[in-house]
Structure 1
């Protein structure tokens, strides 16, 4: 796991807030402090990938689709940025978020373009799955 950014550092999700005022509060907060919507959860999950917070990623993945483990990150993988293209709230408990996450591995640039599905159960949002573009 990477060292967490200082509370005054910019958040990896690119929202323009400090880590403490953005995704950091979801990463280190108590269980009752949860991301308020699917976009906030998706951004916090991106930041968790950047920071290699595998426990957080698994805890925010819906139990019906969650893998047993995430495995090790690729050595040398560097996350470069996140662009949220849209956030659609379908009803009170279902939403979709389209995003593009950029990374670099072994000198080659990569883009992950996904339309992710989220569900809220007992007041808590979970990542379900995604469709790659």
Structure 2
């Protein structure tokens, strides 16, 4: 999280302070118990510039060596549109979301339907559908 100030409220959209919400996952104090919470924590990692967390939570079969996050993008809001599976009793899950950003002050958004799987008991991002 170099060069990015830690937010007081969590960027993922849940009504909790960053340190108590996604910050605990980023620090390694806990693991996201559901695919949706992993998705939220990954959005927050993009928001605060935590490339290490993003790589740690990416399935090794498709994980890039590095991301090179674009500092011109500021991720500002996440909408969860749909979830499937991904609970504490599932081995796979999906999350369809819309992520809002600002690029050089201009608003934009991207939508994705992501797949998540459990690997060694932890949720990881396994690509898009």
TM over 0.5: yes
What TM-score do you get using the length of structure 1 for normalisation? 0.86
The counterpart of 1:85, out of the listed 81, 85, 89, is 81
The 8 Å contact of residues 116 and 126 in structure 2, kept in 1 or not, is answered as yes
Note the alpha carbon deviations across 1:76-103, whole angstroms, 9 max, x for none.
x222200011111067210000100001
Note the alpha carbon deviations across 1:47-74, whole angstroms, 9 max, x for none.
0000000000000000001111101424
What TM-score do you get using the length of structure 2 for normalisation? 0.89
Matching residue of 2:9: 10
Q: Which structure 1 residue ranges, 4+ long, deviate > 4 Å from structure 2?
A: none
User: CA RMSD, aligned part only?
Assistant: 1.6
Q: State yes or no: 1:109 paired with 2:107.
A: yes
The 8 Å contact of residues 103 and 109 in structure 1, kept in 2 or not, is answered as yes
Which ranges of structure 2 fall in alignment gaps of 5 or more residues?
A: none
1:113-124 alignment runs, 5 A limit: 113-124=111-122
Aligned residues: 125
